[in-house]
Structure 1
Amino acid sequence: MKKALLLHSSREGQTIKILRYIEKELADTHQCELVDLHETPDIDVTQYDKVMIGASIRYGHLNKKLYKFIDKHLSELDKAKTAFFCVNLTARKPEKDTPETSVYMKKFLTLSPWQPKLLDVFAGALYYPRYKFFDRVMIQFIMKMTGGETDPTKEIEYTNWARVKLLSERFGSL
């Protein structure tokens, strides 16, 4: 059975939820290991047939630990069958939910020396009641500016699970 490493750089948990879905989709053909990229910087990438990294955007940026991980493991990632996706609330809009139209994916590809074989972008989730006061107010402000939901009692999942399934299939076929 093939081995797949599923790394996450997640803040609120939606990226992990997406990777768990992918893990279930691959269960018949791949032995998957789900790992927090922030806690395991010394993982041996060469022990896996494939590597997927999922990362969330927070206030317009990916976590700096993601870039440090990539820099440290660049040669191994370049040799592996790889995929990368980012999760953000901007991708809730159809005109901003592809690697070609996502400003965050474009920024990532400009800043990162790693150029994964597969790319995707997924809308995240909005969990106002779970946020700390500062984060809730900041996210409400951003959502108001972009025409999104601002009701602090709402929890909305924007993730397109059919698209996640397609990425799972593409990754499984690498």
Structure 2
Amino acid sequence: MNSMLILYSTIDGHTKTIISHMCEQLQPQLQPTVMPLEQLASVDLNQFDTIVVGASIRYGKFRPNVMAFFEQHKTLLDNKKVSFFGVNMVARKANKNTPETNPYLKKFKAVCPAKVDLYGVMAGRIDYPDYRLFDRLMIQFIMKLTKGPTDATKRYEFTDWQQVQSFTQQLLALHKSADA
């Protein structure tokens, strides 16, 4: 087999952007299959050695289908190499940018029913001009509370691409261990 499936759940598209960067780094050694979590029904998970899920946070929560995936496929995932990474704005802070220090990843790890071999967390981006009014106001409020940027005319990129590269290398090592 020696194949990898990368599933993603994104709200504004940045998780997919991060995955695109990961895929560039994985090639030519590996060409993973990439798809939104919502399209999973069309795929046989048994054909993959490694399964990766990347998901973004909005208002402190992953989308419900993220946990539902881990619940529904627990038995299969427990017998695969599995990785999960979260994308959130809290990870822009140095003391909250690891799976051990990020509150969303800590909470996810505590309740995830399936075995996960590798966790990661990455900071996302704020795209104020593209947000609907409600989202823009809510995110500005949250950023004000957490001492983040609030200028609604700007976009803010917080993703540490070196961190993405490091995680991708760990992911490749995990995948190679599936053959061992």
Q: TM-score, normalising length from structure 1?
A: 0.96
Give 1:149's aligned residue. 149
Matched, 1:13 2:13: yes
Shift in Å at residue 72 of structure 1?
1.2
Stretches of structure 1 lacking an aligned partner (at least 5 in a row): none
- Let me know the Cα RMSD of the aligned residues: 1.2
CA distance in 2, matches of 1:157, 1:112: 29
Which residue of 2 is the match for residue 33 of structure 1? 33
Which residue pairs with 1:139 in the alignment?
A: 139
What is the CA distance between 1:42 and its match in structure 2? 5.3
What's the CA shift string for 1:58-82, capped at 9, x where partnerless? 1000110111111111111111111
Per-residue displacement from partner, 1:24-67 (whole Å, max 9, x unpaired)? 11111112111100232453221112111100011000110111
Describe the superposition over 1:57-112 as per-residue Cα deviations: whole angstroms up to 9, x where unpaired.
11000110111111111111111111110000011000000001010001101221
Tell me the equivalent position of 1:65. 65
Structure 1 residue identity aligned to 2:125? A
Task: Identify the residue that residue 178 of structure 2 maps to in structure 1.
Answer: none
Distance in 2 separating the partners of 1:110 and 1:68 = 15
Which residue of 2 is the match for residue 158 of structure 1?
A: 158
Distance 1:131 1:52 in 2: 28
| TM-score normalised by the chain length of structure 2 | 0.93
The share of aligned pairs that are identical, in percent, is 40
Q: Amino acid of the residue matched to residue 157 of structure 2?
A: E
For 2:47 and 2:39, the matched residues in 1 are separated by 18
Structure 2 unmatched ranges of 5 or more: 175-180
Contact 1:14 1:124 in 2 (8 A): yes
